[in-house]
Structure 1
Amino acid sequence: MAASKPVEPQAGVPHWKLALAVGAPLLLGAGAVYLWNRRKTSKRDSQRRTPEGRASPTLTGRSPNQEPEFPQEASPLVKAQAAKNKGNKYFKASKYDQAIQCYTEAIGLCPPEKKDDLATFYQNRAAAYEQLQTWKDVVQDCTKAVELNPRYVKALYRRAKAHERLDNKKECLEDVTAVCILEGFQNQQSMLLADKVLKLLGKDKAKDKYKNREPLMPSPQFIKSYFSSFTDDIISQPLQKGEKSDEDKDNEGEEVVVKENSGYLKAKQYMEEENYDKIISECRKEIEADGKYTAEALLLRATFYLLIGNATFAKPDLDQVVIMEKANVKLRANALIKRGSMYMQQQQPQLSTQDFNMAADIDPQNADVYHHRGQLKILLDQVEEAVADFDECIRLQPDSALAQAQKCFALYRKAYTGSNPLQIKASMKGFEDVIKKFPKCAEGYALYAQALTDQQQFGTADEMYNKCIDLEPDNATTYVHKGLLQLQWKQDLDKGLDLISKAIEIDNKCDFAYETMGTIEVQRGNLDKAIEMFNKAINLAKSEMEMAHLYSLCDAAYAQTKVAEKYGLKPPTL
């Protein structure tokens, strides 16, 4: 896992962090629309299920089938309103066919220039069709209402729900986005519908895209950060002297020359040279030759399949290593850790937990098992168990700065979400102790900076990010976090975007940077630029779940562009 995102199952700003980092908005679920105002509306959703307009006083005390009383010389509009009021009576009596007849009469009587009244009649008839579940009729009448009154919230929302029933996700999203903007993002029902359809759209698009995507090797910095999270991983260790040629043993600083004709050892050599694109093919040679390093080659190949986002190919290799009883137990435990992490990315926490528990059973002295299981427990909100796992990792490996920093982070998250001032203070002191004890651990500074940002100690947080950059100048994600800090601290958009651009300059495969820049551009109202950034992040996504999340963000931005074109509606911008 990348150093600045130690417990995230996928790239992207954690939702709780984004709300704090940008101030407002907060992202709903997998993207949704942006909540520019989080106060709950006092309106009830039931208002949207009823026809508009009160019954005329002339109808008071009458049964629905009695004709309304009005003078012969009454205007067409008065007659139309009387027919509508009669329809409302039928509607409230659940006599929807009769209500439809009355609303149809009102539409026929209403003068064409009375657009608002005519829109109401169409919307009321749509409400009756909705009760009969004739969704195409609902869409047709709501469309008429919106044509007459483009900012008619009830008609737009009713049409959105009908589109949902018809599985017209794109049309549903555009309508509900317009509703959210018109309501100032204050109505929970509208936002939940937007969130729901965005998730469905993202999932559908990611399924097709991910299956046909071109595998892409991450940046060297990402790969090194990934392997640095393991200390008991045989395949990530440098080549041993026995694996090198005799002349190379005396020239440790020079290029390694592999003595044996082994695809696996050749792959290890390429790892040391950071020539990562050749590793999978060399491992394949070892496996096909059934060489003595077959287990290691399977695990190394699976690891790089995971790194390029090909879980389908990784899983059979991991499965094979797990059942190889004669293989080194640390290889099998490492395969279980990686398969468990893969399951978590696929949102299969039960299978993930099983793999981590099996790893602990077969190799109880392996510090990596407890370190990575601790991260899993944080994701599952099982903080007490996460802390216990980090403690066990620290017991087995007292110099594990990463585990100690992440233990502090787990304790801090528990205190922060529980709003416990004393525990927050204790966890902040814990961070200070970690960075004093391990001054070369960039992760400790990065996690402490996130906690300081929560506590609005922005200046100190900025100092911590600077220390991260001093220690790891090639870690792009630190620049992204520092950029987000500038937005929250000083509302300095230019500096924030400059830092995120710097991250992309350092690592043009940093999906986190593209996603964050896209999110900021949405809030600035630069929707075309936002869509461009989200699409770049999509092409770099390392899992189908992450890709679905990014598609949701992109679709939310695209829907806003369509709403702006159709109705001239735009949400507030930073």
Structure 2
Amino acid sequence: MSEGIKDHSELSEAAAQSRASVLRSRAESYIALSRHDAAIADLTEAIALAPDNARAWRLRGESHRVIERYEAALEDFGEALRLEPDSAYALGSRGQTYAAMGRLDEAMDDFEHALTLAPDSLWILEAKADALVDLDRLDEALAEHSKIISLNEELAYSWVARGDLYQRMQLYSEAIDDYGKALEADPDYVRALSRRGEALRMADRYEEALADLNRALELEPGNDRALGSRGAVLSELGDNEGALRDLDAAIELDPDYVWAFRVRGEILQELDRHEEAISDFTRALRLDSGD
């Protein structure tokens, strides 16, 4: 945490600016280590010493955003933008804050403004695409993801992000192709393997799905989503006992995994284990309703 000083007025202007600069730099390292409360403490002191530094307000706003103190984040980004109105970074981060609060129209305004200043900013384009998905403007979101890929085809994550959107749109062949591109860039990308396995399952390509999910779980044995998907695949292949082992493990890792309860309930029902099936379906309904 910041050491603090009792009386800033004791410092000369030069000394205050120097200390504020070091505090901002230390805060950036705290942020890199996800120690956001420590970063906020340093930045609060830095702002007291040098209140006209837009970077300090922006950095503190970003820390507030990451730890979900959204109102505080909005205040800080607003001050950063008062001092530096054309900061694409502050606009993009404020847009992310608005999006997290469900204020999607305001988020889109900030993203659009930010992209007039930095049209090739991948993270802002991605944040805009996410907001478009939340607004159910899926074709527009798809166009944003395609633009991101056109700017840098070597980023595995960008292919996965578009693949996820294709999968949401039930365009499984296109999703499988995008996950394949991601795996060309990074053959051990667990998310791409897991998500391609799920898309292959939805396309009834069970043996291929099983191969992807097995590899994902070799790389990350505690991946609850891959376990859940493999459980569903094993059930389709007639291995209900193997499926139950995977689904049990997935639920142990994530006790709120609604889909896993539903799939396990269906398998238990097929096995005439109806009391257990009812328990799983009841749990799924409670989780769905937020109870």
Q: So what's the TM-score if we normalise by structure 2? A: 0.68
Shift in CA distance, 284/454, structure 1 to aligned 2, threshold 3 Å: same
2:59 to 274, 292, 296: 296
The Cα of 1:431 is off from its aligned counterpart by: 4.0
What is residue 39 of structure 2 aligned with on the other side?
283
Determine the C-alpha separation between the residues in 1 that align with 2:236 and 2:289: 24
What is residue 559 of structure 1 aligned with on the other side?
none
Determine the C-alpha separation between the residues in 2 that align with 1:410 and 1:517: 21
CA deviation profile, 1:386-422 (whole Å, cap 9, x unmatched)? 2221122123333221212332443455464xxxxxx
Higher-Rg structure is 1
Any conservation in 1 of the 2:58–2:77 contact (CA below 8 Å)?
yes
Matched, 1:550 2:262: no
1:301 is matched by which residue type in structure 2? Answer: H
Larger helix percent: 2
What is residue 370 of structure 1 aligned with on the other side?
125
Shift in CA distance, 521/429, structure 1 to aligned 2, threshold 3 Å: closer
Any conservation in 2 of the 1:434–1:444 contact (CA below 8 Å)?
yes
What is residue 150 of structure 2 aligned with on the other side?
395
Shift in CA distance, 490/425, structure 1 to aligned 2, threshold 3 Å: same
The Cα of 1:264 is off from its aligned counterpart by: 7.3
The Cα of 1:461 is off from its aligned counterpart by: 0.8
Determine the C-alpha separation between the residues in 2 that align with 1:485 and 1:337: 39
Shift in CA distance, 318/503, structure 1 to aligned 2, threshold 3 Å: farther
CA deviation profile, 1:33-62 (whole Å, cap 9, x unmatched)? xxxxxxxxxxxxxxxxxxxxxxxxxxxxxx
What is residue 262 of structure 1 aligned with on the other side?
23
Shift in CA distance, 332/489, structure 1 to aligned 2, threshold 3 Å: farther
Any conservation in 2 of the 1:367–1:393 contact (CA below 8 Å)?
yes
Determine the C-alpha separation between the residues in 1 that align with 2:71 and 2:130: 21
Determine the C-alpha separation between the residues in 2 that align with 1:487 and 1:337: 43
2:189 is matched by which residue type in structure 1? Answer: C
Bigger mean CA offset, 381-390 vs 449-458: 381-390
The Cα of 1:447 is off from its aligned counterpart by: 2.7
What is residue 246 of structure 2 aligned with on the other side?
499
Determine the C-alpha separation between the residues in 2 that align with 1:408 and 1:521: 26
Any conservation in 2 of the 1:264–1:283 contact (CA below 8 Å)?
no
Shift in CA distance, 401/474, structure 1 to aligned 2, threshold 3 Å: same
Q: Which runs of 5+ in 1 are unaligned?
A: 1-259, 306-312, 417-423, 536-548, 555-574
Matched, 1:460 2:208: yes
Q: Secondary structure at the match of 1:289?
A: helix
The Cα of 1:478 is off from its aligned counterpart by: 2.3
Shift in CA distance, 395/337, structure 1 to aligned 2, threshold 3 Å: farther
What is residue 357 of structure 1 aligned with on the other side?
112
Determine the C-alpha separation between the residues in 1 that align with 2:182 and 2:40: 42
Shift in CA distance, 262/472, structure 1 to aligned 2, threshold 3 Å: farther
What is residue 262 of structure 2 aligned with on the other side?
519
Determine the C-alpha separation between the residues in 2 that align with 1:412 and 1:477: 15
Any conservation in 1 of the 2:162–2:178 contact (CA below 8 Å)?
no
What is residue 56 of structure 1 aligned with on the other side?
none
The Cα of 1:342 is off from its aligned counterpart by: 0.7
What is residue 441 of structure 1 aligned with on the other side?
189
What is residue 10 of structure 2 aligned with on the other side?
none
Determine the C-alpha separation between the residues in 2 that align with 1:464 and 1:336: 38
Any conservation in 2 of the 1:295–1:321 contact (CA below 8 Å)?
yes
Q: Secondary structure at the match of 1:456?
A: coil
The Cα of 1:332 is off from its aligned counterpart by: 0.9
Any conservation in 1 of the 2:36–2:64 contact (CA below 8 Å)?
yes
2:227 to 479, 484, 490: 479
Shift in CA distance, 384/518, structure 1 to aligned 2, threshold 3 Å: closer
The Cα of 1:368 is off from its aligned counterpart by: 0.9
What is residue 342 of structure 1 aligned with on the other side?
100
Structure having greater relative contact order (Cα 8 Å, sep ≥ 6): 1
Any conservation in 2 of the 1:497–1:517 contact (CA below 8 Å)?
no
Q: Secondary structure at the match of 1:399?
A: coil
TM alignment of 1:117-136, pairs within 5 A: none
Matched, 1:386 2:112: no
Matched, 1:320 2:63: no
Determine the C-alpha separation between the residues in 2 that align with 1:408 and 1:414: 10
Any conservation in 2 of the 1:299–1:318 contact (CA below 8 Å)?
no
Q: Secondary structure at the match of 1:398?
A: coil
1:329 to 66, 87, 91: 87
Shift in CA distance, 517/454, structure 1 to aligned 2, threshold 3 Å: closer
Q: Secondary structure at the match of 1:490?
A: coil
Between Structure 1 and Structure 2, how many residues are aligned? 255
Shift in CA distance, 518/363, structure 1 to aligned 2, threshold 3 Å: same
The Cα of 1:463 is off from its aligned counterpart by: 1.3
Determine the C-alpha separation between the residues in 2 that align with 1:322 and 1:468: 43
Identity of aligned residues (%): 12
4+ aligned runs moved over 6 Å, structure 1: none
The Cα of 1:454 is off from its aligned counterpart by: 1.2
1:550 is matched by which residue type in structure 2? Answer: L
CA deviation profile, 1:248-297 (whole Å, cap 9, x unmatched)? xxxxxxxxxxxx8638736744853xxx5xx3431331243144634212
Any conservation in 1 of the 2:129–2:141 contact (CA below 8 Å)?
yes
Q: So what's the TM-score if we normalise by structure 1? A: 0.38
